[in-house]
Each structure stands twice: as structure tokens, then as C-alpha cells.
Amino acid sequence: MNAPAPPLPIRAMIAPVTPLQQNCTIVWCAKTNKAAIIDPGGEVPKLMEALEKQGLTLEKIWITHGHLDHAGGTAALKALTGVPIEGPHPDDQFWIDDIGASGAKWGMPEAQSFTPDRWLKDGDRVSLGETEFEVIHCPGHTPGHVVFFHRQARFAQVGDVLFQGSIGRTDFPRGNYKDLIDAITGKLWPLGDDVRFVPGHGPMSTFGQERKTNPFVADDVLADP
């Protein structure tokens, strides 16, 4: 008889925010209930209510990339809680600097730029309670995009790098299609087909499922003719 699997060190929930319904993710250390909010695009009161309902203590704000819809609520959340902001990679500084102007343009006047307490680079680790996530730099959608990966839990928050059935846009300033494909196939696929991921928009999937069915990065799509 097989022994029961040990409990996972982290838990997570998706909290879609703003009319765009982008995926803000709340992850927490199962042992301490210390939480990080990943990509607070807006609706900060809704996020704080979600934390309270789960009995969580906010410890970190993590940012995958500097686009308004994923980072627009960061400054307000920082002002309210005082917790440190970690990420993205410094190559997304110009996107963060543009958040205020973008917010005014798109009817989100509360969205403001911010300065991360810690910029992240490939290979960094970020702690949360008594556990930690690996940081993977995955440029292409934006030059400074990072992914947060928990190896033991087989879980990743990939922002706008990869979606169920699609990939991130690369037609924004300093986007690069080849960089994005290289990041997905060279950095994400080696993590394992069993890794479940939360994308920046839409439903969860696994790397294995996308390798089979994604029309942009499936193995047979990218295979040499």
C-alpha cells in the first residue's frame, strides 16, 4: 500500500480583477499562511477581502511584467500594506514608468508607476513564509518578463508568456517573437510536462498539454520539416 503523498507546501487561488478579468494570483505558504499577491492589476479592496477570507497575511507583492493590466494596482497595494514589491526584471522599467499614462488613457486613474523593492533576474529565488519560488526570466512578450515557479508543488505563474492554446503577444514595444518561443521551449518545457500553470488570462493548463495541443508551441508544430 502506497503511503499518502505529503501535503503541498503552497496553496494558490486565482482572483480575476478589472473588467479585463486578468488573473491575479494569491499564493501562500501552507505552514505559515504568509501570502504573496502576483500581478495585482487593480481592484485592491477585492484582493484584500480575499486575503481576509482565507485568513492570510500579505508578505510580498510579486510582478511578472510591467503592463498596466498586471501591475496597475501595485502602487495602491504597496501604499495600503507596506509590503515589499519583488519583480519584474529591470528591462521592464519603461513599462512601469508608463503605467500612470496608460491608466489615464484606459480609465484607470488610480493606476500609478512604482519602484520595486527588488528587481529580479534569471535564477533568483523569492521567499514566502517557509517556502520559496524560483525566478525564470522569460522575455518576448515584454523584455523583463519573469515567471515564478515552485518546483516541489509543480506549479508556475507564467503571466503573459503562455496561455491555454496560445502565447503572449509580441507586437508591443520591445516584444520579440523568437525570444518568446525560445523562453517557452528552452526554459519552461524542461521544468516538466506535469507542471500546472496559471496564465495571465484564461484557464489553467499544464506544460504537457500545451506541448501536445498549443498551435504555436506544440512539439509537432515546432518540429523541423
Determine the pLDDT at residue 167: 98
d(CA 34, CA 141): 30
CA dist 106 → 41, 214, 215 (Å) = 13, 31, 31
Q: Whose CA is closest to 99, among 89, 84, 109? A: 109
At residue 76 the predicted structure's pLDDT band, cuts being 50, 70 and 90, is very high
| Architecture field, domain 10-218 | 4-Layer Sandwich (3.60)
At residue 74 the predicted structure's pLDDT band, cuts being 50, 70 and 90, is very high
CA dist 148 → 8, 38, 110, 210, 213 (Å) = 16, 9, 26, 18, 23
CB 19 within 8 A of CB 1: no
**How do 196-199 and 155-159 pair as beta strands?**
parallel
Grid coordinates in use for 3?
503511503
User: pTM for the full model?
Assistant: 0.95
pLDDT digits (tens, 9 = 90+) for 29-45: 999 999 999 999 989 99
Q: Which helix H or strand E contains 94, and what residues bound it? A: helix 93-97
pLDDT digits (tens, 9 = 90+) for 145-185: 999 999 999 999 999 999 999 999 999 999 999 999 999 99
Q: Residue 128 pLDDT more than 80?
A: yes
* Secondary structure (3-state) at 75: helix
Q: Which helix H or strand E contains 212, and what residues bound it? A: helix 207-213
